[in-house]
Amino acid sequence: MFEHQRHKPLRQLAQPRELLVVCAPMRSNVNLSRIARAASCCGVERILCTGTAKLDRRIARDGADTLQIETHRTLPPVLGELRVQGYRLVGLEQTTDSSDLHAYRFQRKTALVIGNERTGLKPEVLKLLDEVVEIPVWGMPYSYNAATATAMTLYEYCRQYPDG
């Protein structure tokens, strides 16, 4: 018979993740805090936020301490700088040309761009992206919550790059 232990030691990454999470202005600090918690679990080291972002430490938990959170006024200049740094700019949004997350192959150096909970990514931001991925939905409503969708996408990236 196996004796299960509730917690195991953290998995160590062979190299730092080259994944950034970039958030459009969020309506809810709860969603942003949940995104931070999921990102921290996935070994992401940095989140770039725009607007009046503020983490709720009770929700973000250890993510509030382990992540570097940067706040910027607007998204386009941030995306331009990330492109110069060699990041692949990948939006998480449902568009006419978005790729199914199940078939998408991330580049290691990716900036995952998350839209606002209600309005998604604005057209002027979509124009700046290299690619857009979406998560298939089989029921109502038509899309997942921003924090849930981000967690699912982060997990897929980590599945593709389990060691960093």
> Looking at the 3D structure of the chain, how many domains does it have?
1
CATH number, position 36: 3.40.1280.10
Question: Residue 10 falls within a domain, yes or no?
Answer: no
Question: Residue 75 falls within a domain, yes or no?
Answer: yes
Question: Residue 5 falls within a domain, yes or no?
Answer: no
Burial 120-157 (b: 16+ CB within 10 A, else e): bbeeebbebbeebbbbeeeeeeebbebbebbbebbebb
pLDDT in tens, 108-149: 999 999 999 999 999 999 999 999 999 999 998 888 999 999
Residue 3 is predicted with a pLDDT of 79
Question: Residue 1 falls within a domain, yes or no?
Answer: no
Question: Residue 99 falls within a domain, yes or no?
Answer: yes
Note the pTM of the prediction, 2 decimals: 0.93
Provide the domain limits for residue 57: 22-160
pLDDT in tens, 21-78: 999 999 889 999 999 999 999 999 999 999 988 888 889 888 888 899 999 999 999 9
